[in-house]
Structure 1
Amino acid sequence: MPIEEKTLKSERIYEGKIINLRVDTVELPQKKYSKREIVEHSGAVGILPITKENKIIFVRQFRKPVEEILLEIPAGKIEANESTEKCALRELKEETGYSAKDIKKILDFYTTPGFTNEVMHIYLAENLEEGTASPDEDEYIELVSLSLEEALEYIKEGKIKDSKTIIAILTYKNLSLIL
């Protein structure tokens, strides 16, 4: 039976622009104690944009932590006092230039609950209108469009490795099962 851990002490180690890091001292059963390193994150959104031609719009960009160029759905961090839907619309426009007339949340999940409290909110964006992208000054993005079948093949071949993107694609493929 899972046991909840009681936090005895919490110490903030680092405060950054994207994350904070704290170390909690917790009490376990039988008066045992342990330390938990926790990455605090305000949450993020991922957007699965579908064109009228039934193509999914992806962004290709270099990701320093893994030293690779990855193919991902557009995504970004939720700003203070920003709703997840507003964030999804903003990130879609910034990264791809597209605006969506229809947007619907399809899924929430914890990205890596073993060490972070980050929640990812996945939105489906349809009835898109093209526009001009305005990525952050440190973002260098290339747009790629694939059919659902091509995206599934990319997952199978290891050409899409990003978890939020894989989850979004597989959820979209099985949308009728969850809505």
Structure 2
Amino acid sequence: MTMEEKTMKCERVYEGRIINVRVDTVELPDKKYSKREIVEHPGAVGIIPITSDKKIILVKQFRKPVEDILLEIPAGKIEPKEEPYICALRELEEETGFKTDTVEKLLEFYTTPGFSNEIIHIYLAENLKEGIANPDEDENIDVVELSIEEAMEKINIGEIKDAKTIIAILTYFNLYKYK
């Protein structure tokens, strides 16, 4: 049984700086029709920076869509024609001031495939060198260092609520807890 939907019509509803929105008319496998509202996003990266004493560097910032201050891994939108690992290096330095020569890709995932095509690439950054943060002019960021145990506790008690951050911390914990 086929599950794929054939796009019959695509209507652009909004084009913005970060996202675009379209409505697709699709033909379902049973030859019926339906509409799909789709948020297009160019993709993003998240970085889990680990200090030499095994602390995770997080950023704290206000997020208007949820009206809350969140604790997150450094992250950002991939620019046109930018490779994800280059974006990871750029965002690490912009948001935290830290630099590194290498990053290791841990995984990638779709954030909300029910209505968006956004994909996030998660990288591990080690061998960090301190520098000066240079966040975007509309970003107000505080840098926070936590042990893996403190980060896991903050996930467990609901103080870390951001999905990419939870996924990155749990992945790091699962990959490196036995080393």
TM-score band w.r.t. shorter chain: over 0.9
Write the distance in 1 (CA, Å) between the matches of 2:63 and 2:4.
35
Q: Which has the higher strand share?
A: 1
1:175 match: 175
TM-score using structure 2 length = 0.96
3-state SS of the aligned residue for 1:30? coil
Write the distance in 2 (CA, Å) between the matches of 1:141 and 1:71.
10
3-state SS of the aligned residue for 1:127? coil
- What amino acid is aligned across from residue 107 of structure 1 in structure 2? L
> How many residue pairs are counted as aligned between the two chains?
177
1:29 match: 29
Shift of 1:29: 2.7
1:74 match: 74
Query: Are the aligned partners of 2:10 and 2:25 in contact in 1 as well (CA < 8 Å)?
Result: yes
Change (3 A) 1:130 1:176: closer
Change (3 A) 1:152 1:176: closer
Unaligned ranges ≥5, structure 2: none
2:38 match: 38
Write the distance in 1 (CA, Å) between the matches of 2:168 and 2:2.
29
Identity %: 71
RMSD across aligned positions (CA) = 1.2
Unaligned ranges ≥5, structure 1: none
Shift of 1:52: 0.4
Once the two structures are superposed, residues 99-125 of structure 1 have per-residue CA deviations (whole angstroms, 9 ceiling, x without a partner) of 013310000000000000001000000
2:20 match: 20
- What amino acid is aligned across from residue 117 of structure 1 in structure 2? N
Q: How does 1:29-178 map to 2 (within 5 A)?
A: 29-175=29-175
